[in-house]
Amino acid sequence: MADPLALTPGMQEFIENMGLFFERFDLPRIAGRILGLLLLASRPLTLDDMADALQVSRASASTNARMAVAFGMAEQVGVPGDRRDYYRWPDDGWGTQLNLNIEALKAIAAIVNRGLDALTPDDDVARVRLEEAREFCAFLDAEMKGMLERWGVYRRQLRQESSGASEPMTGTDA
């Protein structure tokens, strides 16, 4: 998309659908719309670009762009010679999101462990529940790390296929 304001009706519908999707998960609709716009944008966008393209206030664009950055689904970048803030879709926004979920899982696991330490010997029901929560966290941690690694391999393969590269894959993108 060369001009962020030159949105086709299909692009506008995509952006609106992204807003509706994220709204179902208790995020503001505008945050989802910003993510949709950033997915389509071929260059980093200013807050004014986003506000104009989405027909929202600059303050709303700013608040929700910062939220998208906090969730790892956007990144703030600078442009040499320009003092304005720019935002873009991260190189691996999906992998970044999974990494944030792994970090959140570690935080809840630490809370569960502190809960276990606080129990008295006769707190049998709570102990069973918290031990299961701890095991669930450990299980999810291993699964998500494996998913992230597999995603890195799959992503590199996709990029090699799309670029026509024939060099062997090494390392991880995750």
For the sheet with 82-88, list strands across it. Answer: 45-46, 82-88, 75-79
Torsion of CA 46, 54, 94, 155, to 10 degrees: -80
For the segment 20-61, what is each residue's pLDDT rounded down to a tens digit? 999 999 989 999 999 999 999 999 999 999 999 999 999 999
**CATH 1.10.287 spans which residues of the chain?**
93-163
CATH topology classification for 93-163: Helix Hairpins (1.10.287)
What pLDDT score does 6 carry? 86
Condensed to tens digits (0 to 9), the pLDDT of residues 79-126 reads 899 999 999 999 888 898 889 899 999 999 999 999 999 999 999 999
Phi-psi domain of 55 (left: phi exceeds 0; alpha: psi -120 through 50; beta: other): left
Domain 9-88 has CATH 3.40.30.10: no
| CATH 1.10.10.10 domain position(s) in the chain | 9-88
What pLDDT shows up at residue 1?
Answer: 47
Predicted confidence at residue 123, as pLDDT, reads 95
User: What's the token pair of residue 166?
Assistant: 């024939």
Q: Are 91 and 173 in contact (CB under 8 A)?
A: no
